Chain A
Amino acid sequence: MEESGKILLELCFGTTCFVMGASKLQEIEQYIPPQYKNKVEVKAHTCLDLCKNATYMKAPFVKLDGEIISEATVEKIIQAIERKING
């Protein structure tokens, strides 16, 4: 969790993630339900360097408070945020 108490969502804009669907994740902030909006901090990265390691499965990757989500989609990320907030 960020110092601000927010959940940190990190997006990867590296080549592999971008072509595998991260281009669609840049608008993720619009899809975060209003009640969670001020609880999530979104940060973009040049590359999270995860695609080079086969153990992490498939791109696109995002990190939610450091936890790696592979084959990330808007729905998958929103569900993970809900789980994190609601425990």
Chain B
Amino acid sequence: MPEKSFFVDIDCFQQKKHGQNTFGDCFKSKRFTDEGRLLAVLSDGLGSGIKANILATMTATMILKFIEEGKDILKATEVIMNSLPVCQVRKISYSTFSAFECSDEGEIKIVEEGNPDFIHLRNGVVLEHKPKIVTSKTFTNRHMHLYSFKLEPEDRLIFCSDGVTQSGMGTNEYKLGWRREGLIDFVEAELRRNPAISSRHLAQEIVKEAIRKEPEHQAKDDVSALVLYFRQPRKLLIFTGPPYRQDRDAEYSKIFDDFDGRKAIVGGTTANLIARELGREITTEKYNKGMLPACSHMDGVDLITEGILTLTKVLEYLNEGYDRWPDDAAGRLIELLLDSDVIDFMIGSKLNQAHYDPDLPLELEIRKNVVKQLEKILSGRYIKKVNLKFI
């Protein structure tokens, strides 16, 4: 990666309308690591529940697929705008959307149709952009707002569904809802308090605050916030498993120690060999949390956990997707993973024969396979850049 390379950290947090069992907003995104670009769409389906979910999912999926297939973002979204049906009862579009395409250099193209205008914050100040407006040829009341500009390091963009800006509407305090102004004040205050907050946490805070505006804290609509943060990448290195060749333990331990970013060791034997090579002490917590072995500590390392059981659990949790990760070693590792943008794995290929003892009460997965599945979900669903190195 070139020295000056930046990272587009995006994440979306959503809350369903109270009483519904499915989301009526849909967020889809895809990162093309090789091409250094990222696509994202947030769509809000009319109404709530299953119908809204289908409309929003269809819209978001189609826009993403079109752009992915090489169509220009303007062309892709125009096709969607012109073809989205109108609700016979309400005479309004079946779904609204915000879509953007952003390069690793910060060149961004944004298209919005019907969603609240995005917010662009630079050095604590909101920048207003004049959109180019494209009107639909088939539905004259439909307009797309197009924007194209270059992001500066530390810039933030906030996209949301109207569930955020209209939260609290009708209450004495927020007769017209929280509104864009209220959201801006909140985000500015959050950034003053925590200037380096990740997109994931900021999106969560926005949604939680919006719901606090509602009577009895029950969401009256689907509430989604999508945050983009253009910043220096947060790097994480995970060393898991002893190297195939023992005579290279020292070399790899040094690479691990010299890494410029956060570090985690996943595996007891691995932790021991690094401690030995670097001449450091390990202390292990005496009590486990949950069903996994306890974490350990060593100077210069952010987290040390057991190996394959923890990795398998991490994969299980990520597949499940919790609002709050369980308070065990796997939950702690996930916090570290999701708070990072670029994740490097150093995977030792040495096998521990004892793990293949048929008397073991459960079958242990093979490390290599679990890490490969982790790579898939981290780069797919969680939009991370993941590099694997087998050693």
Contact = CB atoms under 8 A, between A and B. Distances in A.
Given A15-B308, A16-B355, A19-B364, 19 more contacts: A11-B286, A13-B268, A13-B288, A13-B294, A15-B268, A15-B293, A15-B352, A18-B309, A19-B362, A23-B293, A43-B284, A43-B286, A44-B294, A46-B268, A46-B272, A46-B282, A47-B268, A51-B354, A52-B354
Interface in A50-75: 51-52, 54, 58-59
Interface in A2-59: 11-16, 18-20, 22-23, 26, 29, 42-47, 49, 51-52, 54, 58-59
B14 interface: no
A-B interface, 3 closest residue pairs, ranked by CB to CB distance from nearest = A47-B268, A51-B354, A46-B268
A24 to B, nearest CB: 11
Nearest to B285: A44
B264 to A, nearest CB: 13
Contacts of B357: 16
B381 to A, nearest CB: 27
Nearest to A23: B288
B355 A18 contact: no
A18 B306 contact: yes
B322 interface: no
Interface string B313-356: 00000000000000000000000000000000000000011110
Contacts of A22: 293
Contacts of B361: 19-20
A47 to B, nearest CB: 3
Interface of B: 267-269, 271-272, 282, 284-288, 291, 293-294, 296, 304, 306-309, 352-355, 357, 359-362, 364
Given A13-B294, A46-B272, A49-B269, A19 B309 contact: yes
Contacts of A58: 359
Contacts of B287: 26
17 contacts: A13-B268, A14-B306, A15-B307, A15-B309, A15-B352, A16-B360, A18-B293, A19-B362, A26-B288, A43-B286, A44-B294, A45-B282, A46-B268, A46-B269, A46-B284, A47-B269, A49-B269
B292 to A, nearest CB: 8
A42 B268 CA distance: 18
Q: Per DSSP, are chain B's interface residues mostly helix, strand or loop, or mixed?
A: loop
A15 B294 contact: no
B36 to A, nearest CB: 38
Contacts of A14: 268-269, 293, 306
Contacts of B296: 46
A47 B355 contact: no
A45 B297 CA distance: 11
B285 A47 contact: no
B268 A19 contact: no
A12 B306 CA distance: 11
A46 B360 contact: no
A47 B284 CA distance: 10
A26 B286 contact: yes
Nearest to B307: A15
A43 to B, nearest CB: 8
A59 B357 CA distance: 11
A51 B271 CA distance: 16
B281 to A, nearest CB: 12
